[in-house]
Structure 1
C-alpha cells in the first residue's frame, strides 16, 4: 500500500454560505483519512496508546487550496507517507475529485510523543517499519 484512499461526500454542514467547502473542514477530513490509513495497515492509534503509551500529534500543516469543493461532491483523500524519521513522519494528503483532479494538497508533519510529559519519542515497532515500507518519495 503506497497510498491510502478515503472517500468523503460534501454535506451541507461542510459548506459556507456560498456552498463552498469551509477551509477548516479539509483538516478534519485529513485527520480521518490519516486515522483510517493507519487502521488499514493494522496499526490503529488506540493500539499505539495501549501498548506504548504514545500517540501521534500534528506538528505542522501546510494547506494549498487549488480548486473549491462544493455541496454534494464526492471526493477522495489520498494519504502518502513521504518520510519517516526516528520520532517523526511527513505525509502528503491530496483531496481529489471523482476524475482524480487535485482540489487541495496538505503537507503534514507528525511527531510521536509519550503520553506522560508529551515529549518526542521514537516511533515504536511495528509502526516504524510499516510506515517505512510505504514511503513514497516526493513527486
Structure 2
C-alpha cells in the first residue's frame, strides 16, 4: 500500500515535520527538503506499480538524480503537516523531469525541479524500460514528452 494520492496529473504525498528535521530554531534544515522530495518521488513511482528495489534486483537499473534545484520561499517548522505535490513534466529517452511543490495548506514553501536519469548499475545511461515509459507517456498525454 502506498501513501499519497493522485489528483489529476499531480501526486500528493504528506510529510510531517519532526524534531529531527529541524535546527535549533525548530525550522526545517534546507537540505531536508530534498529528502522530502525524494520520498515523494519514490511514492509517486510506487503508486504506479514501479518498485525501485525490483528494478535494481531484476534489471540492474536505477533512477539517479542528475540535476536538482530548489527555490526556498518560506520555512517549514516543527509539527507542520506538509504536502509534496509531484508532477512529471518531461519524458526523455533515458531521463525524466519533475516539478515538486512543498506546501503547507495552499501556501508553497519550496519549489523543486529535478532531472532524473535512468542508469545501469555500472553507471552508464539506459533507456527507460518500455513498460515504465508507457505509464509516463499516458501521464503526460499524447502531445508531451518523447
TM-score by length of 2: 0.87
Q: Does 1:53 align with 2:64?
A: no
Q: Secondary structure at the match of 1:134?
A: helix
Does the 8 Å contact 1:80/1:135 carry over to 2? no
What is residue 118 of structure 2 aligned with on the other side?
Answer: 112
Matches of 1:12 and 1:58, distance apart in 2: 27
Which blocks of at least 5 consecutive residues in structure 1 are unaligned?
Answer: none
Which blocks of at least 5 consecutive residues in structure 2 are unaligned?
Answer: 1-5
Q: Does 1:4 align with 2:11?
A: yes
What is residue 45 of structure 2 aligned with on the other side?
Answer: 38
- Let me know the Cα RMSD of the aligned residues: 1.4
What is residue 3 of structure 2 aligned with on the other side?
Answer: none
Deviations 1:40-75 (A, max 9, x none): 001111122233211100000000001111111100
Counterpart of 1:29 (choices 36, 39, 44) is 36
Deviations 1:67-125 (A, max 9, x none): 11111110001110000000000000110112x2111000000000011x210010002
**How far does residue 18 in structure 1 lie from its aligned partner after superposition?**
1.4
